[in-house]
Amino acid sequence: MPELRKDPITGRWVIISTDRARRPSDFTRATVEPTGSRFCPFCAGNEDKTPPEVLAYRTDGLTHGGRWSLRVVPNKFPALRVEGDLDRQGEGLYDRMNGVGAHEVVVETPDHMATLASMSERQVAEMIWAFRDRVVDLKRDKRLRYVMLFKNHGEIAGASLEHPHSQIIALPVVPKRVQEELDGARKYFEFKERCVYCDILRQELKDTERLILETDEFAAVSPFASRFPFETWILPRRHESHFENIREAEVLNLAWVLRSILRKMDRVLEKPAFNMIVHSAPVQEAATEHYHWHIEIIPKLTRVAGFEWGTGFYINPTPPEEAARFMREAGLS
């Protein structure tokens, strides 16, 4: 019998389709392997092919030029622009404003052929530091209410360049799905006086059926109402609403957890394309007891069909308990 499951945060129902249950090898997949064949603006030596950097980490202590290990540059084709006023206006019943915001690219390493799974832990930690440093800087601009930190890996996940990179989009509005998560978490808190994510952590660490791995600082789980096969959430054990308040020990630990999850995914799903998104509270809002930042990773294995767009209703052919078992059993090497 297929099962309907409800996400405890947003209230979204998902069909877990046991009749269609599939093993990892049953998915149509496109393995993502860097080819390095084309000219790449993100490779070392081509720094002049990107706009001037807004942040860089260097190993030689220089502030410009020299050898960098990570760079953050404005997107050459930005979806939003930093200059100008919001200039909110109506047009009949419609509302519009200028696309003020920031759109930046984190070049995670000079090594074109690397992936987050194959990089050193130190390098993954630098990406996390860069995310934090950019949020701390961007939030000083009071027009910007939300900072999206995300990575598209592989062409079918939306990456247009193969050099390892992630993206930062700072927005003058709070995106709708984010607001729903915040509202759902607040409602749960009002009812229970506990954080829903803390409750999920406790239950998953106790049940262990959907637990992939745990460390002193984090736990990785296949969520109870997973929308997608092998959807994976990484949750910090310490309650904290804002990602940018991450502590040094957590950064290092998260680098290990993130790399481990991606290595396991590479093994189980043969180097899939994936999307990774940091979910965090709006940057201009104070710390809250009800929201809890976390990371969601979604490997691109299935096609999203029409009704999923139109209704927000998902059919997931892989029970999360099965996904977690495959992920647990996969080695890290």
Residues marked active site are found at 165
Taking residues 159 to 178 in sequence order and writing x for each that binds a copy of itself by CB under 8 A, - otherwise, the string is: --------x-x-xxx-xxxx
Between 69 and 232, whose beta carbon lies closer to a copy of itself? 232
Angle separating helix axes 121-138 and 248-269, nearest 10 degrees: 120
CA-nearest of 223, 296, 217, 292 to 257 is 217
Whole-number Å distance between alpha carbons of 235 and 212: 12
82-111 residues near a copy of itself, rule: CB under 8 A: 84, 92-99
303-332 residues near a copy of itself, rule: CB under 8 A: 303-307, 309-313, 315
CA-nearest of 304, 271, 194 to 239 is 194
The answer to the question of residue 226 lying near a copy of itself (CB under 8 A) is no
Among residues 2, 51, 65, 66, the one that binds a copy of itself under rule CB under 8 A: 2
Question: In whole angstroms, how close is the CB of 261 to a copy of itself at the nearest point?
Answer: 15
Contact 326, 265 (CB under 8 A): no
Taking residues 6 to 25 in sequence order and writing x for each that binds a copy of itself by CB under 8 A, - otherwise, the string is: x-x-xxxx-xxx-xx-----
Q: Tell which phi-psi region holds residue 61, choosing left (phi > 0), alpha (psi between -120 and 50) or beta.
A: left
Question: In whole angstroms, how close is the CB of 256 to a copy of itself at the nearest point?
Answer: 22
Between 153 and 267, whose beta carbon lies closer to a copy of itself? 153
> Which letter, b or e, does each residue of 71-94 get, where b requires 16 or more Cβ atoms within 10 Å of its Cβ?
bbbbbeebebebeeeeeeeeeeee
Question: In whole angstroms, how close is the CB of 119 to a copy of itself at the nearest point?
Answer: 19
Whole-number Å distance between alpha carbons of 285 and 185: 15
Between 52 and 310, whose beta carbon lies closer to a copy of itself? 310
Contact 130, 112 (CB under 8 A): no
Question: What is residue 270's three-state secondary structure?
Answer: coil
Query: For residue 145, what are its two tokens?
Result: 């209410």
The answer to the question of residue 1 lying near a copy of itself (CB under 8 A) is yes
Taking residues 173 to 202 in sequence order and writing x for each that binds a copy of itself by CB under 8 A, - otherwise, the string is: x-xxxx-x---------------x--xx--
Beta bridge partners of 13: 6
Whole-number Å distance between alpha carbons of 271 and 262: 9
135-164 residues near a copy of itself, rule: CB under 8 A: 148, 150-152, 155-158
Q: How many residues in the shown chain lie near a copy of itself by CB under 8 A?
A: 72
249-308 residues near a copy of itself, rule: CB under 8 A: 275-277, 279, 296, 298, 303-307
112-131 residues near a copy of itself, rule: CB under 8 A: none
